[in-house]
Amino acid sequence: MWSNARERGATLVEFAFVAPLLLMLVIGIVDFGWFISQQQDVRYGAREAARLATVNTASTADMTSTVCDAMDIAGGVTIVWDEGAGTIGSTGSVEVTVEAGSLTGFSSLPFVGALYPDTLTSRVEFRLEQPASSWSSGTASC
């Protein structure tokens, strides 16, 4: 009878040592998945901005609001538009930058924070199919 009680006590002590490590691993996986999701949103926003700019669909303000609505990010988004030469066939670019946010706060720990980025950025270059008459180079945010 004593051996079973001792074994149960040893199992409890082993679990007490392992549980915090397992919990940190799970929280780290969730936080890393959140960063990947945010990066995908930033890439989608940059592609959407390039698609709108390449066909000269709207003004810079309208394109900015469309891009910001397309992304699932609350705020802190900066969009840098560059029309290049602004003529058909010339190359333009758009860069979308967002401050990276943590879902669990795990990335703010000193030993983990070095592994996570402070900002997420995606830059897309595109060929203008229409002259950039409705929009122009500049910076916008939402």
Instruction: Note the pLDDT tens digit of each residue in 72-108.
Output: 887 789 999 998 888 899 999 999 999 888 888 877 7
Structural domain for 64, as ranges? 2-141
Q: Residue 2's pLDDT is what?
A: 53
CA distance 46 to 95: 6
Q: Residue 135's pLDDT is what?
A: 86
Instruction: Note the pLDDT tens digit of each residue in 20-61.
Output: 999 989 998 998 898 899 999 999 999 999 999 998 888 888
CA distance 76 to 95: 14
Q: Residue 6's pLDDT is what?
A: 65
Instruction: Note the pLDDT tens digit of each residue in 119-136.
Output: 999 999 999 998 888 888
CA distance 131 to 114: 43
Q: Residue 5's pLDDT is what?
A: 62
| pLDDT tier, 1 (very low <50, low <70, confident <90, very high otherwise) | very low
> How many distinct structural domains can be found in the chain?
1
Q: Is 96 helix (H, G, I), strand (E, B) or coil?
A: strand
